Structure 1
Amino acid sequence: MADLNELSAQEIGRRLRLARENAGIRQDDAAQVIGMSRPTLVSIEKGARRVRIQELQTLARHYGISVNALLRREAVHTDLVPRFRKLRETEDKDTAEAVQLFNNLIKADVELENVLGIERRRNYPPEHGVNEGDVIALAEQHAQDLRDWLGLGPGPIADIFSVIELGLGIRLYQRRLSSKSKVAGLFTYEEAVGACIFLNANHPLPRRIQSAAHEIGHFYGTRQSPEVLEEDEKFLSREERYANAFGRAFLTPAASFSESFRQLKEITGKTTRRLIILLAHQYNISRQACGLRLEELGLAKKGTWAWFEKNGGITDKDVREVLGEMTDRRDPAKGDADRLLSHRMSLMAHAAWKRELMSEGQLAELLNVGRVELRDIIDQIELEESETDDLLKLPD
């Protein structure tokens, strides 16, 4: 932990302001807790007046954070929660839950990387504006430009999550939210931590793939603005219509998607349930997204998907009858989301503990887990490593 005098008054003030904002506490209330006026607290947060240790301890308790976490050199202090609050006139509990979890994941991820000396590679294309021209045509062109820039080729994307994390170097978190949450995805960008995407792991794989492509659209076209994607999003703003169109075009490029459709329709003679099932499976998208994309590209009549819905839909049973064993796709991110900590976060926590860079207490606070649960994770990895060590002792 850094000594109080090792950090500038401005840096301590900034960290205190962010901790207060993240806790949702007003300046008047915080000032009252330490028995001072609001202008004095403002002076502390601006760095004009250095905070005293007793004041720091009292404020930290009130904000629900330890003094250690406030002063630790590698600690990450972001303003993610307040940025999302400014995004909406009213903050619903679903958004608040998702943003707080997102914020906690980013802070823990970045701080552990800093502690361990891990450098995350960024491969960001320049941000492209969306203020001029036909927004749908612009999104189609930008999606194709990014595919070309990444060298993805014309066909379906096999693993969009790897494209996000490895191809672009964006931080990606897939974790479960409360069962009734309407949040599908989040996006934010801050220079200190980079671009970050959150996906609701409760959603089925095709839905998360679509949400991921949508958030890539925000990364490419409106990077400086945080974004919340909901299940029933209306896509009213220009930025949302752009991201929605970008996502469709990124996953189903007009030329290759049209050719795949043509090859199937030459056999079926018309747009059938089986055709949509096969095409959706090929491009890793939902049946609904497939049907609507066909309409958008003029490959199927307007109202085709609505007709299917009115006439029994295209059910999971239909899919299983067509695809058989191929119906169940591997979804390792879903399993990882069921863990208390992701595999990567668990490994970093263990490494920080083993190298004596952070204590169990510091790690438990950073990761928002109990010390008993953290100890179980560390012990499990320790056991696995000891077994590996024994294996390495075997003769060649």
Structure 2
Amino acid sequence: MTDNRDHPDKLGERLRRARGAAGLTQDQAATAIGVARTTLVAIEKGERRLKMAELVGLAELYRVSSASLLQAERADLEMRPQFRRANHPGLSDEAVSGAITLLERLATATVELDRLLGHTPNHDAPPPVRLDARRVYEQADDAALLVRSRLRVGMAPIPHLARLLESELGFHIFTRSLGAWQISGVYGYTPQSGPCVVLNAAHPPSRRQFTLGHELGHFMSTRDVVDIEGGGCEDSAVAERFANAFSASLLMPAPALRGRVAEITDQSGKFTVAAIFFMAEEFAVSREAMCRRLEGLGLVRVGTWDKVRHRASEIPANKLLFEETPFTRHGRLGLSAARAYDRELLSEGQLAELLVLDRVEVRELLDAYLGDIDEEL
């Protein structure tokens, strides 16, 4: 990736050309942004770094976008080695390629918006686990405890996992259509963007929650390694087992479930199907995921889910638990995009291209994020 703010000489040359195209002298430009002419000369020569406020001022003066000055070379990121998917026979190469391309474009958008806004990304994350096939489930439990400690959630449910991963571990998380039901999510990592995950918008929110935990498991283990489930590679199989076990342990920690089952049983004298479904909502996972986790922990009989799955449609779920909003769809990238628009660094059209959205979707995003962005508290 080429970061143009790391090359003041290139930026200075583009500023000089833009000033010339606008028909302005160095004195006029310097006066407009409140600096001495000698300072502007130094900026155009690449001898003095440009401040963000100065960039915005010069862009307005020259009638060009700040993005056009900073984005002479796009921050195109290659993430194909980090793509992870289940090996489904009916999954086309086109669907896989489209999902990967979307991930790469959104990861690129995060880097370019950070650069435009002068943000320093937070990539402070725990080191990855070196997987041992003989201890993979134990390692998954240990890693889940480490992440819970890092997120400061104790043994409590994590209904807003995506927000915590974005704020505490520097993740970028998106919910988009991936073109194929079989693709649950796409994960990628580069040093520039940090970890990025695209979740399948066609899937129920509870399933997306488990998928996010699964992809976090890959981040905590095979962070930079090719891994396609069912591809015949033993290491890949180990990585998938780790990721699935990690997600279950993270979202449904054994101590919390044991305590909850004991509490419910003590209060009512029995543990029922309704109790399982209640716990699924409490821990923000699907009913099947909760039931199978309880089976794995020996808290209910193996095969319980097969016996009760027909009851899932009879007992309605709490739809408010996973309320969909623009914030859940776009994450912190949406906030960065709104700030860039608010500062007139990018237009609606430029945002649509950068974020792979149509104009209506961009307007919905801006309306959601800009409503309170500058409200004084």
**What's the TM-score, normalizing by structure 2?**
0.68
**Aligned equivalents of 1:188, 1:128: Cα separation in 2:** 17
**Do the aligned partners of 2:84 and 2:227 also contact (CA within 8 Å) in 1?**
no
Match of 1:306 in 2: 306
Give SS of 1:314's match. helix
* Offset from partner CA, 1:120-148 (integer Å, 9 cap, x none): 22331111111353211221121112212
Q: 1:318 aligns with which of 315, 319, 325?
A: 315
Partner of 1:329: 321
CA distance in 2, matches of 1:144, 1:287: 23
The CA deviation at 1:383 is 10
Aligned residues: 308
Moved more, 89-98 or 213-222: 89-98
* Displacement after TM superposition at 1:373 (Å): 5.6
CA distance in structure 1 between the aligned counterparts of 2:261 and 2:142, rounded to whole angstroms: 21
With 360-369 and 294-303 compared, the bigger mean Cα shift is at 360-369
Distance 1:120 1:288, change over 3 A: same
Q: CA deviation at 1:314?
A: 2.5
Match of 2:99 in 1: 98
Return the TM-score normalized by structure 1. Answer: 0.65
SS at match of 1:120: coil
Residue identity opposite 2:354 in structure 1: L
Corresponding letter in the other structure for 1:239 = A
Q: Which residue of 1 aligns with 2:276?
A: 276
> 1:231-267 deviations in whole A, cap 9, x for unaligned?
xxxx970000000000000011111111101111234
- Corresponding residue of 1:78: 77
Q: Are residues 1:158 and 2:159 paired?
A: yes
- Quick check: 1:251–1:283 contact (8 Å CA) kept in 2? yes
Q: Which runs of 5+ in 2 are unaligned?
A: 12-66
Match of 2:15 in 1: none
- How far, CA to CA, are the matches of 2:370 and 2:244 in structure 1? 46
How far apart are the structure 2 equivalents of 1:265 and 1:155?
A: 19
**SS state at 1:198 partner:** strand
1:207 matched residue in structure 2: 207
Structure 1: runs of 5+ lacking an equivalent: 8-67, 321-325
Distance 2:368 2:153 in 1: 36
Change (3 A) 1:333 1:360: closer
Once the two structures are aligned, what percentage of the paired residues are identical? 28
Deviation track 1:281-336 (CA, whole Å, cap 9, x = no partner) reads: 11111111111011100111111111223xxx22243135xxxxx45324234776
The Cα shift of 1:279 comes to 1.2
**Residue 350 of structure 1: aligned partner:** 341
Instruction: Provide the C-alpha distance between the structure 1 equivalents of 2:285 and 2:353, rounded to a whole number of angstroms.
Output: 38
Amino acid of the structure 1 residue aligned with 2:323? D
- Does structure 1 conserve the Cα–Cα contact (< 8 Å) formed by 2:85 and 2:229? no
Question: CA separation in 1, counterparts of 2:76 and 2:298?
Answer: 49
CA distance in 2, matches of 1:6, 1:261: 63
Cα 1:183/1:345, change in 2 over 3 Å: farther
Q: Work out whether residues 327 and 334 of structure 2, in 8 Å CA contact, stay in contact via their aligned partners in 1.
A: no
User: Any conservation in 1 of the 2:157–2:282 contact (CA below 8 Å)?
Assistant: yes
Match of 1:184 in 2: 184
Q: How many Å apart are 1:74 and its aligned residue?
A: 5.9
Judged with a 3 Å threshold, the aligned counterparts in structure 2 of structure 1 residues 76 and 289 are, in CA distance, closer, same or farther, namely same
Match of 1:366 in 2: 354
Report the secondary structure of 2:225's partner residue. coil
Q: Distance in 1 between matches of 2:216 and 2:189?
A: 12
User: Aligned with 2:316: secondary structure?
Assistant: helix
- State the alpha-carbon separation in 2 of the partners of residues 283 and 148 from structure 1: 17
Equivalent residue number for residue 168 of structure 1: 169
CA–CA separation in structure 2 for the residues paired with 1:383 and 1:327: 26
Give me the whole-angstrom Cα distance separating, in 1, the residues matched to 2:249 and 2:371.
44
SS in 2 for 1:290: helix
